[in-house]
Structure 1
Amino acid sequence: MTQIKEQPRRSTTAGRRPVGKVLPGDARRHHRALILQQLVDHGARSRADLARETSLTRVTISDLVAELIEEGFLIEQGTRPGTHMGKPATLVGMSEDAPVAIALDLSADGHLTGAVVDLDGKILTREQVEFSRGDDIAVIAGLAVRLRESTPRRILGVGIGTPGIVDGDGTVIIAPNLGWENVDLAAQLSASLGLPVHAGNDSNVAAVAESAFGAGDDQGMLLLMIGSGVGGGVLIDGRALSGPLMSSGEIGHVVVDPGGRQCSCGNRGCLETFLSAPALSLLDNDDDRRHVGTKLATVLTPVVTTLGIADVVLYGPTELLEGALLESVRAGLAQQTLPFVAQRVQVRLVPMHDELVLTGAAALVRYRELGVV
């Protein structure tokens, strides 16, 4: 009788996060986040408004609002205008002197930009220093220290947008453009600065910024960041995707021409070798720009179709992207997707001067420290 070898069963919990007991501190942090999210999204509210909108008790709201006022996040803004029966409601809102974040942008070639950014994504001060492949992290720490000394306000934390694959702890697994591999960026800076530090892929944090502070559709958005390299950030159902390999959005290293130019990652003919700002600046006619746009559309089509994305953002130098290239991307997507999809997908430009990596790095701090998206 032939024996059938039993195959090992795959665990049904593979890849899931362990579920632990919810501690009182976790619930309190969640309730604080609910209050702050309401005020960030909708402006000043009364305590009664907050209780109704968050489904928290008035006692809990009163306690947490008092705590947030004491910590400098909130301020009482007087009574609601208009005539009401009974005692007028006192409104609370975000304080103009609330804690701020230090944001650092490593995405550019040859320089590092840092800024002090408030909780609304407003850049208060900024500074730029030279930073090239192989430079020491001490350069980054030095800029962060100067930014910290430039503001009297409390620093909530430090956010960093960096090229490459970045894990949840802020370690840069690999960043070919910086020559980094397994660099524990967040941990090293946190030890140096004595502050919480959070690092993420530059394109991912830019996508978060376009959602939090811009016009991005966080239910389904792909942001393609085009600079010295090319990266992508994907938001689906309000969450940034990373995947088990933490490489979601590394669209610049999709090979579109195996016989093409050498890429910094080691392959030949990556999309980045056609679409990066240095490569685009060499194009001198619309036919070449249309050719690149068509290649980009071919790469974008399966992503847009598979994930059901309705908002495609090209974030980069508008003088290189608008016109023939943008038109060919739109035409290519329309030809290669279902008519239902083509009619609903928008492809738009966001200029580099919006500084999405800086504001996205601040948004990363806001989320990790306060739970506010």
Structure 2
Amino acid sequence: MSTSTRSPRPARMRHTAGKILPEHARAHNRALVLQSLFSAGAMSRADLARTTGLTRVTISDLVAELIGDGYIVERGVREASGPGKPAILVDLARDGHRIAGLDLSGSDRFRGATLTLDGEIVARHEVPVPASAADIVPAIIELARAVIADAHAPVLGLGVGTPGVVDDRGTVLTAPGFGWEGLDLSGILEAQLAVPVLVANDANAAVLAEHTFGGAGDDVILVRVGRGVGAGLLTGGQPLAGARFAAGEIGHVTVGTDGGPLCACGKIGCLEAWLSVPALTERVAASSDPGGVLRDAGERLGIALAPIVGALDLSEIVLSGPEDLLGDLLAEAAAETVRTRTLATFHDELHVRMTTHGEDIVLRGAAVMVLSGRLGVS
């Protein structure tokens, strides 16, 4: 994307808590420079010094280093507006690297893409989800190889969004749909592909895309509805993982004491049994009042979300999934239920909306994972 058409964004980083140690200061400062250019586009070295608060000497040194590493390029001079030598503009080398992304959340196909540093998809690949659990990892490796081969530029890293509970090292602690328990997916892929790999739960990847590329605020929950129901959370712009990396696993919260459908987990009335795409589609098709079915599902979602919104003081709920099911009636019912079950003074203006990224949200979130993990950019 050219600097002339890029829409500036306020620079925002997911800062590490606590004091920055001297041995980490240079990496932090590099990330500050890259984040500023990622958010605002081409800038002069003087602009960068003002934006980051770093000295001009430090900026000059960092820019030279980043140019040498291939992450920054000079873009010519700024149009002169007065006497003196025009400033030379620098920007991210947006075409100098590519990001590989995988979305493993589909019910019948795994999707992959090659993306630019701006999160734009330039190539797509997919493979069928194997019927046998033993063939799933080989299929993922095959897909990743195809995506990386289509990069036609150095690959900054591979981001993977997968169903299941994933720890901060890329190990899938559990993914019942795949039969995975304690699978070091990141390590397996790095050994096969020789590129850095970052793995996260698909909903957690999706909320990163919504924050970085979709304009979501710093306190948001994204509810992803497909075969199951999960959520990704940001508080203060920081991903919320939880003590056992299971924050956002809302699919098996019981939403009401009036019975309900039997869930695959064996409980009655889980949110997933009401809201998953297969279950909701079946009930809508069988009902003489499909609007009532959607409003009821939205109310169940609101029941599950109200305590989360109240506890974390969230400002926005984003829905990701089929818009014909989740939009309008269901979203309105969810918003109204949350408002009636939380303190009105703070949540009367709660915003519930569909994502604008459609099916690409996990792929774009995978790109954010790589940008953040490799460059400190988000």
**TM-score normalised by L of structure 2:** 0.89
> In the superposition, relative to structure 1, how do residues 132 and 257 fare at CA in structure 2: closer, same or farther (>3 Å)?
farther
Instruction: Please give the alpha-carbon distance, in whole angstroms, between the structure 1 residues aligned to 2:338 and 2:19.
Output: 44
AA aligned to 2:232 is G
Per-residue CA shift, 1:221-261, capped at 9, x if unaligned? 01000111111001000101001111100011212267544
TM-superposed deviation, 1:167: 0.2
Instruction: Please give the alpha-carbon distance, in whole angstroms, between the structure 1 residues aligned to 2:297 and 2:119.
Output: 33
TM-superposed deviation, 1:52: 1.8
- Equivalent residues of 1:72, 1:97 under 8 A apart: no
1:304-323 paired onto structure 2 within 5 Å = 304-323=309-328
- Equivalent residues of 2:102, 2:159 under 8 A apart: yes
Query: In the alignment, is residue 217 of structure 1 matched against residue 222 of structure 2?
Result: no
Identity of aligned residues (%): 43
TM-superposed deviation, 1:184: 0.7
> In the superposition, relative to structure 1, how do residues 72 and 244 fare at CA in structure 2: closer, same or farther (>3 Å)?
same
Per-residue CA shift, 1:20-40, capped at 9, x if unaligned? 99353x222111100000001
Residue equivalent to 1:156: 156
Per-residue CA shift, 1:121-169, capped at 9, x if unaligned? 1111111110146133121111111111112210011100011110000
- Equivalent residues of 2:214, 2:355 under 8 A apart: no
Instruction: Please give the alpha-carbon distance, in whole angstroms, between the structure 2 residues aligned to 1:190 and 1:267.
Output: 38
Aligned residues: 355
Instruction: Please give the alpha-carbon distance, in whole angstroms, between the structure 2 residues aligned to 1:175 and 1:95.
Output: 37
Instruction: Please give the alpha-carbon distance, in whole angstroms, between the structure 1 residues aligned to 2:273 and 2:130.
Output: 20
- Equivalent residues of 1:107, 1:163 under 8 A apart: yes
**SS state at 1:246 partner:** coil
2:64 counterpart (38, 63, 66): 66
Residue equivalent to 2:355: 350
**Structure 1 stretches lacking a partner, 5+ long:** 1-16
Residue equivalent to 1:117: 115
- Equivalent residues of 1:176, 1:264 under 8 A apart: no
Query: In the alignment, is residue 203 of structure 1 matched against residue 203 of structure 2?
Result: yes
Residue equivalent to 1:96: 94
Instruction: Please give the alpha-carbon distance, in whole angstroms, between the structure 2 residues aligned to 1:78 and 1:125.
Output: 29
> In the superposition, relative to structure 1, how do residues 352 and 263 fare at CA in structure 2: closer, same or farther (>3 Å)?
farther
- Equivalent residues of 2:220, 2:317 under 8 A apart: yes
TM-superposed deviation, 1:100: 1.5
Per-residue CA shift, 1:21-73, capped at 9, x if unaligned? 9353x222111100000001111110111112212222221122122222222
Instruction: Please give the alpha-carbon distance, in whole angstroms, between the structure 2 residues aligned to 1:171 and 1:293.
Output: 33
Query: In the alignment, is residue 364 of structure 1 matched against residue 369 of structure 2?
Result: yes
Residue equivalent to 1:236: 235
AA aligned to 2:335 is R
Name which one, 1 or 2, has greater alpha-carbon Rg.
Answer: 1
Instruction: Please give the alpha-carbon distance, in whole angstroms, between the structure 1 residues aligned to 2:159 and 2:265.
Output: 25
> In the superposition, relative to structure 1, how do residues 222 and 146 fare at CA in structure 2: closer, same or farther (>3 Å)?
same
**SS state at 2:355 partner:** strand
Instruction: Please give the alpha-carbon distance, in whole angstroms, between the structure 1 residues aligned to 2:339 and 2:64.
Output: 53
Query: In the alignment, is residue 295 of structure 1 matched against residue 300 of structure 2?
Result: yes
TM-superposed deviation, 1:19: 8.9
Residue equivalent to 1:35: 33
TM-superposed deviation, 1:82: 3.3
- Equivalent residues of 1:105, 1:161 under 8 A apart: yes
2:129 counterpart (131, 142, 150): 131
- Equivalent residues of 1:316, 1:351 under 8 A apart: no
> In the superposition, relative to structure 1, how do residues 18 and 356 fare at CA in structure 2: closer, same or farther (>3 Å)?
closer
Instruction: Please give the alpha-carbon distance, in whole angstroms, between the structure 1 residues aligned to 2:272 and 2:173.
Output: 19
1:13-92 paired onto structure 2 within 5 Å = 22=21, 24=23, 26-92=24-90
Instruction: Please give the alpha-carbon distance, in whole angstroms, between the structure 2 residues aligned to 1:74 and 1:266.
Output: 54
- Equivalent residues of 2:95, 2:117 under 8 A apart: no
- Equivalent residues of 2:136, 2:178 under 8 A apart: no
> In the superposition, relative to structure 1, how do residues 268 and 172 fare at CA in structure 2: closer, same or farther (>3 Å)?
farther
RMSD: 2.0
> In the superposition, relative to structure 1, how do residues 305 and 333 fare at CA in structure 2: closer, same or farther (>3 Å)?
same
AA aligned to 1:74 is I
**SS state at 1:313 partner:** strand
- Equivalent residues of 1:77, 1:93 under 8 A apart: yes
AA aligned to 2:239 is A
TM-superposed deviation, 1:316: 0.9
> In the superposition, relative to structure 1, how do residues 55 and 168 fare at CA in structure 2: closer, same or farther (>3 Å)?
same
> In the superposition, relative to structure 1, how do residues 205 and 274 fare at CA in structure 2: closer, same or farther (>3 Å)?
same
Residue equivalent to 1:227: 226
Instruction: Please give the alpha-carbon distance, in whole angstroms, between the structure 1 residues aligned to 2:107 and 2:150.
Output: 25
**TM-score normalised by L of structure 1:** 0.90
Instruction: Please give the alpha-carbon distance, in whole angstroms, between the structure 2 residues aligned to 1:51 and 1:21.
Output: 19
**Structure 2 stretches lacking a partner, 5+ long:** 1-15
